[in-house]
Structure 1
Amino acid sequence: MQDNPMTAPASFDVALRAAQARITDYAHSRLTGADDLHAAMRYAMVGGKMLRGFLVLESGRLHGLAPDAAMNAALAIECVHAYSLVHDDLPCMDDDDMRRGQPTVHRKWDDAMAVLAGDSLQTFAFELMAEPVVGPHALAALRTLAQSAGKDGMVSGQMLDIAAESAETPLNLDQITRLQQRKTGCLIEWSATAGAVLTGADPAPLATYARALGLAFQIADDILDVEGDMNKVGKALRKDEDAGKATFVSLLGLDAAKKRASDLVEEACEALHPYGDDAETLKQAARFVISRDN
């Protein structure tokens, strides 16, 4: 059984570090195999911010979700996110050599192992969400996880991103917003609303928060791609610019992109009004998204 989560909001830094430690420990307790497949799965999860898992745990705390249910959901979303990165880094996709400051899975092993590790992380996420400990609302959360990760969510966004690389004209602002709402935003929205969905509560306020947060997160990524330090970000930078792809920075300009991200953070914080002071950590998380350096 998992330790009880915090019953009162902590500072964001404390809460995020605690979430990272708990999710990492839980991942290692569940992925215990000694073969290369399990090693690659564990490796794929090393070094991440685990912001999505953190959002699950905070959402669960706000709604009194049982600790074991919250941990299964938090690890599940981190597995889905890790799988997406492993596959996204492959030569047939973005062809990246570095991720989170270390060689990508296909560079440390090979393409086949990266495909298999990603497949296994994805299916393990659904195994976690189907366990009885998740509770009576697990089916609703499972369904929305599949939608958020699949053909109408993250994978759809990745498809639009790949199509944009060969398009004759760069995407416009509406098109790139739609792309990023799917590629990045869908999993962030699932994470932030998980506690509400798994307790049968109204997820609408957290959904509004998450939509603004997810878009701010992507704009911040585009800003980091221009201004970031590769040693801190942990991956190659300026690839979109070199490829002539449209980004929020290329479409809005650097200063306007920063202003848009800041406005979105304010929208996210305002959406948390129904939770009062209990949502202070989530407000800090929104501010972190546009101030981070990795």
Structure 2
Amino acid sequence: MQGAGEKRAVLIAGPTASGKTALAIEMARARGGVIVNTDSMQVYGVLDRLTARPDARELAAAPHCLFGHVDPGQRYSTGAWLTDVRELIQGGELGGRTPVFVGGTGLYFDALTKGFAEIPAIPEASIQAAEKLIQGLDATGRLALLAERDPQAAARIGVADPQRVVRALSVLYATGRPLSAFQKDNEESLLQGYELEKIVLMPERGLLRRRIAERFAAMMERGAVEEVRALLALDLDPSLPAMKAIGVNEIVAMLAGEISREEAIERAVTATRQYAKRQSTWFRNRMGDWRFVDPFGV
């Protein structure tokens, strides 16, 4: 518990499979804290295993908030996440306990610590137009395309993650204003006045690659295929974020008989490793004032 007048928060970032959950639980228990999800995929229901959400044992080890609370049929944004965090902080749900923010979504941490611009709701048509525009482009092509239309947003993003490029382009289509123009009007950080402990977990690359492979194989054994079947039963728009979770397309192809189980695992592991590399690049480029830790180092 925090003392009178004291406001502290712990922030734990890192690439997928870097041991964030274990550290968050350890710190929450040591400080009487509450773990707050800071991962854009772990907010969605149904995909418990594929998004590596804490399991029942981990959930019982410490209080958790904002995990699996969003219907996979919705598009959940950074702004929506900040609104939920604001309600946690201002609504008293934390009960004076230290929030332990943990996840792999750099943009969430950026918005939490540096403020976030309120952007109007973006119509589905604008999102689909942006998605169509980047189809077939690699990371270099996506970033070059965005740089043509919003150079400041491209420079800010740095890493051409498809969802973030689509976000920037769809804002431009829908509002006629570049995303960078909105970002100039950032609201104050929700953690203004907090004493922050900011940690980035950065394991040795070879070990992280092995952990990713082992974890996805375990996901397949522990219900990932059944989760994808349940997701398909909802008959959702394929462009929704939940439908783009790593492993979904690969398992869908396996269920359709297009690829083998082994190939599905291999493809998903490769995609996860590529994602971890993009996350690591973001953290190194944008979190220079955080404490970088190798959680498995001797």
Q: Scaled by the length of structure 2, what TM-score is found?
A: 0.31
Say which structure is richer in strand: 2
Say which structure is richer in helix: 1
Q: Scaled by the length of structure 1, what TM-score is found?
A: 0.31
